[in-house]
Amino acid sequence: MHVIDSHTGGMPTRVILDGAPDLGSGSLAERARLLATEHEAFYKSVLLEPRGQPGIVAALLVPPEDPSCETGVIYFDADAVLGMCGHGTIGLAVTLAHLGRIAPGTHKIETPAGQITVDLLDANTVRVTNIESRRVKTSVVIEVAGHGQVKGDLAYGGNWFFIVDPSPIAVEPVNIRALTDLSIAIREACISQKVCGENGQPVDHVILQGSSPTKGIHSRNFVLCPDDQYDRSPCGTGSSARLACLAADGVLAPGEEITQESVIGSSYRLSFQAGPNGGVIPTLTGRAYIMGEGKLVFAQNDPFRDGIFL
C-alpha cells in the first residue's frame, strides 16, 4: 500500500494511493458506508499505532462518480469514517501537486458529503470551498457529567459539531488534557441526551471556542475528533460549522475574512458566501507540507499487523 504523509497546520494526513479494498462504484456516501461497516479492521490498521500516529487522518483515493472531478476521496481517522475533512483536503491537494497530478488552479473533488473545490495557490497553499454548512440548533443546554450544564450550538460542516462558545476551560496548550476530557464528556452527553442531526446523526466532533492573545486573530479553537484526539489544525469542517453559526448570529458578513487559530497556534483564513439552502458556503485557506512517502507492509507473522486495538 503506497502512502504519502503530509501535515496541515500540524495535523497529519496519510493519502492512500493503492492497496485498499474494492468499494465498488456506488456513490461516495455508499462507498464510505461500506468502508465503515465491512472494512473496519482494514481502516483502523492503516492508522492505529504502531503503524500510525495519534490524530492522523487517512485520505483514501477512489474513482469519482463525476468524471469532471480530479478524484474521489474518503476520509477516516482511527475510529470513524468521516463525511469530509478540511485539513485532509488541504493535505490531499498538496499531495496531488507533489505527484504532478494537479497544477495551480481550481480542481473539483468528490467526498461523501458532496462535491467541493480546491484552489491550489502555490505548492503549499490551498483554498478549499466546502459543502454548504448550517447551524441546526442554537443555545442547546446539556447536562455534562462532572461539569454541570453546558450550552452550545449544533452545526454541520461536513461532520456534526457541538460548539461551545466561550469554552468553560481556557483554550491553551497547557489545558489540552482537561479540554479533551471535557469534550469527550460533552460528546457523550449529546449522544445520551439525543442532541443530534435532523436524521439522528450523532455529534462526532466537539468545539470549544476561546480567544487568542495574538492581535488580528479572531478566535482560537479546541476541536475533539472521533478518535478522542484533538485537531492540531483549526479543523476545516469545524471552522465551516462555526462560520454557519457566526453567519446565523449576524456577526460576520458574507465575504468578510477572519483568521481562526487552533489550540497549538496554526491558522486558517476563513470566509463564507450565502448558500442556496439558507446555510453558508465556507472557504478556508491553509498550508500543508509533505513529510514522507512510503509503502505500508502488513506482515502475516506480525502480532500487531492490525494495530494496537485495546
Binding site for ligand PYC (CB under 6 A): 11, 57, 82, 85-87, 159, 225, 231, 233, 235-237
Query: Least distance from C-beta 19 to ligand PYC, angstroms?
Result: 23
CB closer to ligand PYC out of 64 and 234: 234
Residue-by-residue DSSP string for the chain: -EEEEEEETTEEEEEE-S-PPP--SS-HHHHHHHHHHH-HHHHHHHHSTTTS-TT-EEEEEE--SSTTSSEEEEEE-SS-EES--HHHHHHHHHHHHHTTS--SEEEEEEETTEEEEEEE-SSSEEEEE---BEEEEEEEEEEETTTEEEEEEEEESSSEEEEESS-SS---GGGHHHHHHHHHHHHHHHHHTT-B-TT-PBP-EEEEEE--SSTT--EEEEEE-TTSPBPSS--HHHHHHHHHHHHHTTSS-TT--EEEEETTS-EEEEEEEE-TTSSEEEEEEEEEEEEEEEE----TT-TTTT----
**Do residues 28 and 112 lie in contact, with contact meaning Cβ atoms separated by under 8 Å?**
yes
Query: Least distance from C-beta 231 to ligand PYC, angstroms?
Result: 5
Query: Least distance from C-beta 83 to ligand PYC, angstroms?
Result: 9
Residue type, 205: H
Query: Least distance from C-beta 92 to ligand PYC, angstroms?
Result: 11
CB closer to ligand PYC out of 46 and 57: 57
Write phi, then psi, for 280 (nearest 5 degrees): -130, 150
CB closer to ligand PYC out of 147 and 264: 264
Catalytic residues: 85, 235
C-alpha R_g of the chain: 18
Query: Least distance from C-beta 196 to ligand PYC, angstroms?
Result: 18
Query: Least distance from C-beta 288 to ligand PYC, angstroms?
Result: 11
Rounded Cα distance, 209 and 238, in Å: 11
Q: Return the residue matching grid coordinates 449529546.
A: 190
CB closer to ligand PYC out of 86 and 210: 86
CB closer to ligand PYC out of 31 and 76: 76
CB closer to ligand PYC out of 175 and 239: 239
